[in-house]
Structure formats: C-alpha cells, structure tokens
Structure 1
Amino acid sequence: MVLRIVPSVMHPNVQAAINDSSPGDSIKILAGTFDGFEVDVENLKIFGCGIGRTIIAGAPAQGSNNGVVVDADRTTLQGFTVQGFDQDGILANSNNNVLKEIESNFNLSINIAGNNNLILNCHSKFSETGFDINGDSNCVIRCESTQNGDGFQISSIINKIINNHSINNEFSGALVLSSQIILNNKIIGNGENGLFVGTENNMMIDNMVCNNGDSGIFIPSNTNTIDSNIVRNNGTDINNAGILVLAGSTDNIIRFNKARNNVDFDIEADPPADMNNTFDGNKCGNSDPPGLCT
C-alpha cells in the first residue's frame, strides 16, 4: 500500500495519482484547487484537507461533465469541496463506497447510482437536487441539503435516510419513491411538500416536518407507514394539510403522529381514503373528515 501526495512532482493532479495507483493505495490531496477526476481503481482512499480547504473545481472528470466520477468499488472519498460543474458534483456509479465529509456546491447533485454506499456528514447546496439516490440499499446519515431545488430524491429501493436535514429548498424536502426507510430527519422550510411519498411500501418514522409551503407529508400512494412524526405549521391554502392522503390511496398506516397548526387541516383524507387507510393514535387539532385525531 502506497500513499501518494497531490500536488507533487510525480503527481501534479489527482488523476495522475489515480493512474499510478493499485488497489489499497491512498491519495492525500493538499489544500488548494484541483481539477475533477475519475476513480477507476478499486479500494482507493482519497482524502482532502477538509471542506473549503481542498476544492475540486475547474476541468471535469475525464470523459464527462461531472466533478468526481466513482466507477470502482470500495472507494473512500473524504474531506473536500466539489463545486461549479455542469453535471453532478459527485457521480458514484459503483458499490460499497464511503463518502464522508464532502461538500457539493453549484452542481447538479450528489448522485448515488450504485448500491450499498455510505454517505456520511455530507453537505449539498445551490444545486438542482441536493442528494439524488438512484441505487439500492444505500445509507445516508447526518447529511444536509440546503437551498437546492429538491432536497432529496430517492427513487430506487431499500435506502435508509437517517438523521439528515433538508432545509429551505425551493421545492420538496424529500421526494420518496419505493420502499425507503426515512427515519429521524428534520425537513423544514421547504417551498413545496416536506415529504412527498410517491410510491408504495415506505416507512416514515420520527421525522420533524415543519414550516413547509405545501403539505407536510403528502401521500398519493399505498401501503406506507407514517409513524410518530412531528408535523407542524405546514401549508398555505385549502389544498394543503399537515398530512394529506389522496382519495385513491389505500392500506397506509398513519399512527401516533403529532400534528398542529397546519393549513387547512392537521390531517386530511379525501374520501374514501378515510375508510381505506388506518388512522390510529394521532394527536392533532383538527381533521377532515373529523375523527382522524385522538
């Protein structure tokens, strides 16, 4: 295992260091601004000097318009900022990678297209989508999406989104599609829906969903579990609610949520959704139809 330093005489940029590396090697990127790169060697560890000190900008990764492209499994990326690319700041196509303490600004997204990746303590700002999760069985923990278009978009299956913040994004805090676990997140001050639950078999548990422009939790789909969330101060007109269940939605379980001061109801179920879903133990001020709160 070899440690390579960038910049150095032998390795003036990150791509040169990757091209000389073998699986298990490490690359240390010093403070400064560097071009993008593609990781095509497995099991590399690539470390910067920290967010705002090591900056990936300028020329994109070879053969793309993305900042950093990860095509090899078991890559570790840690401790740098990536900014100003026409496409994704980071595009992870491969599996079993770790992205830790990465900041992405003014890019399309942090795009996780592979499976079984860990994204930890990362930040995304001023992008079209903060975090775009397209692969399966990924885990996103303690990340922050702020002032993007949509905060999170999760469109594959069995991803775990835990202890994150999605705050002050222009559109939805999180677009949730197909069998995700959304646990203990703060989804606050987004322009549209806090949580948009677009497809089946999702679990939304212990989230704080507050001050979003449209509904706090919007459910046009089936067989989801909405459990023990705090849902407050969401909505601006009669088309919104704290928790809004559309007429065609069936077999959802909405239980033990605390909903207050939402417009125009804390919980609203368009008939026959009030009969075709389970409402149990919800603490709220009002509902439509009446009786969905205890």
Structure 2
Amino acid sequence: MTIRIVPTQFATVQDAITAANPGDSIQILAGVFDGFQVTKERLNIFGCGIGKTIIAGTPAQGSNSGIFVNANQTILQGMTVQGFSENGVLILTSHNILKHIESKFNMRHGFDGDVASNNNLILKCIATFNGISGFRFNDSEHNCLIDCQSKLNDSSGYQSEAPNNMFIACSSVENSTGFNISASHTLFNNVVNKEGGDGIRLFGSSNNIIQNKVSNSMENGVRVLNATSLHVIDSNIIRNNGVVSPANTAGIKVEALSSGSTIRFNKANGNIDVDIEAMAPANTNNTFDGNKCMNSIPITICNS
C-alpha cells in the first residue's frame, strides 16, 4: 500500500489516481484542486478537512460533477466540493464510505446516488445551497446516512425514490421539503426545521418514521399521500407546523386514500390548522393509538 500526495508528488488528484494501485491512499493537501473521477477500487482519498481542501473548477472526467465515484469500496473524506454545473459528488458504485465532506453551490444535487450506487455509508456530510436537493438517492438502495446536514437547498433536503435507505440523526433545515421519500425507508432521530413546504412527505409505502422532531414547516409536518401506505409513524414530536397557514395543513396529515398505516405515540401541538388530521376514510383505514395533541380531525384519533 502506497500513499500518494497531491500536489507535492502529483499535480492533480486525477494524476495520483492514474498512478495508484487498488488499495492505495491519496492525500490531498490544503488548497484548491480540480474535480476527479475515482476509477480504481479500494482507494482511500482524504483531504485536510472541510474548507481546507477544496474541489472546484474543472469537473471530473466523464462528468460535469465535482467528484465522480466510479469504483467500489472508495473511502472519501475531509474536503469541500463546490460550484459545479451538475452535482458536487456523484456516486455510481457500491460499498463506499463518504465522511466529513461538504458539498455546496452546485447546480443540481450536493450528493447524488445514481444507478446501482447501493450499500454506501454517508457519514457527517453537509449539503448547502445546491440547485435541487442536498442528498438524492433516487436510483439506489440500502444506503445509510448518519449525522448529515442539509440546509438551504432549492428543493428537498433528502430525496429518495429507490427503497430501503436509512436516515439516522440527520438534520434538514430551510429546504423546500425536508425528506421527500418513497418506499421502505427508515427515518430515525432526525431533526426537520423551517422547511418551505412539508417537513416529511411520504409518497410510497412501508416507511418507518420513528422518533423524529419536525417543527416550523410552512405546510404539513408529516404528510402521508394517497396510497396503500403501511407506514409506521411512531413517537415523533411534531410542533408549530403550518406557519403560513395554507388551507388544511396539519402536524400529521393522512390523506383520504391512505390505508394500512399505524400512527401512534406521537406528540403534536401548536400546528396550524390542526395537530393530526385523517381525511375520511383514512381515519378508519389506518390505526391511531396513543397520540397526544391539542386537536384532531376527527377528535377520536387523538388523546389530549
């Protein structure tokens, strides 16, 4: 195993990757460097930290993104990626670890998991001021995001249409939507605050939404769209959502054709227009148990 250093031994990160063998390490010193594509497996590419090692300028080979992860088992950590015409970090492979990476001011997504980018760990990463979403995993599954931050992105803080992704102890603040997710995800112990629309929007089925804090969203705190839902929405704190008071917002809103979900032990208060609402026949086609709130529609689904 060899450590290759940029820019003292190699002028660019791409030059170091070209010279590397699978399993090598590449250290990027403080400074501003062009984007790069990871083309060899098991490379450990590490910078000097967020705001110190900065990837900007020319995009990665084969992409308009800053970093293009195109090999399995990459470890990537300790850098800022900014100002690219597509994504900050584009992931096309599996079993990678991304840690302590900031991605900002990119025209599309901060982090984008594209086709077949499965089983990745995204840890303590930050996405801000990106043109669409902070973190997007629409075509990839079995990814785990832990302790990440998404703030002030134009669309969703976190977006995922492929199933079986996990979001644990992440934060979403002042995006258009906090979490915009489809089927079979787990959201545990996340904080969602001051979103421009819904805090958490569920448009698929079988999601586990457990012990999250959702507050001050302009529209609904948690919105369950029309579907055979089969969600578990359990032990969340939902407060002060519906800030702009559009028509018919709620802390937890279950739309009419949603069915098969369990909404239990949530604490909801201070939401406009109502803390928990289940539009008929959703009030009878889902299970409501042990929720604490000031008001609900109908009144039978909430214990004051």
Kindly state the Cα deviation for residue 112 of structure 1 after the two structures are TM-superposed: 1.9
Kindly provide the amino acid, as one letter, of the partner of residue 125 in structure 2.
Answer: C
**Deviation per CA, 1:229-248, whole angstroms, max 9, x where unpaired?**
00000012332100000000
Q: Which residue in the other structure is 1:125 paired with?
A: 128
Preserved contact between residue 101 and residue 122 of structure 1 (Cα < 8 Å) = yes
Kindly state the Cα deviation for residue 266 of structure 1 after the two structures are TM-superposed: 0.3
Q: Which residue in the other structure is 2:173 paired with?
A: 167
Counterparts of 1:165 and 1:63 in 2: how far apart (Å)?
Answer: 32
Counterparts of 1:112 and 1:284 in 2: how far apart (Å)?
Answer: 38
Preserved contact between residue 2 and residue 25 of structure 1 (Cα < 8 Å) = yes
Q: Alignment partner for residue 208 of structure 2, among 203, 212, 215?
A: 203
Runs of 4+ in 1 over 6 A off after TM superposition: none
Q: Which residue in the other structure is 2:44 paired with?
A: 45
Preserved contact between residue 238 and residue 263 of structure 1 (Cα < 8 Å) = no
Q: Which residue in the other structure is 2:259 paired with?
A: 250
**Deviation per CA, 1:85-136, whole angstroms, max 9, x where unpaired?**
0101000100000000000001121012300000000000001100001311
Kindly state the Cα deviation for residue 176 of structure 1 after the two structures are TM-superposed: 1.1
Q: Which residue in the other structure is 2:193 paired with?
A: 188
Q: Which residue in the other structure is 2:280 paired with?
A: 271
Counterparts of 1:198 and 1:126 in 2: how far apart (Å)?
Answer: 25
TM-score normalised by L of structure 2:
0.95
**Deviation per CA, 1:253-280, whole angstroms, max 9, x where unpaired?**
1000000010111000110110100000
Aligned residue pairs, count: 292
Q: Which residue in the other structure is 1:229 paired with?
A: 236
Counterparts of 1:146 and 1:71 in 2: how far apart (Å)?
Answer: 27
Counterparts of 2:272 and 2:128 in 1: how far apart (Å)?
Answer: 29
TM-score normalised by L of structure 1:
0.98
Counterparts of 1:193 and 1:11 in 2: how far apart (Å)?
Answer: 47
Match of 2:301, SS state, is coil
**Deviation per CA, 1:34-87, whole angstroms, max 9, x where unpaired?**
000000100000000000000000000012111000010000000000000010
Match of 2:214, SS state, is strand
Gaps of 5+ in 1: none
Preserved contact between residue 196 and residue 219 of structure 1 (Cα < 8 Å) = yes
Preserved contact between residue 186 and residue 209 of structure 1 (Cα < 8 Å) = yes
Match of 2:15, SS state, is helix
Kindly provide the amino acid, as one letter, of the partner of residue 117 in structure 1.
Answer: N
Kindly provide the amino acid, as one letter, of the partner of residue 200 in structure 2.
Answer: L
Preserved contact between residue 156 and residue 178 of structure 1 (Cα < 8 Å) = yes
Q: Which residue in the other structure is 1:22 paired with?
A: 21
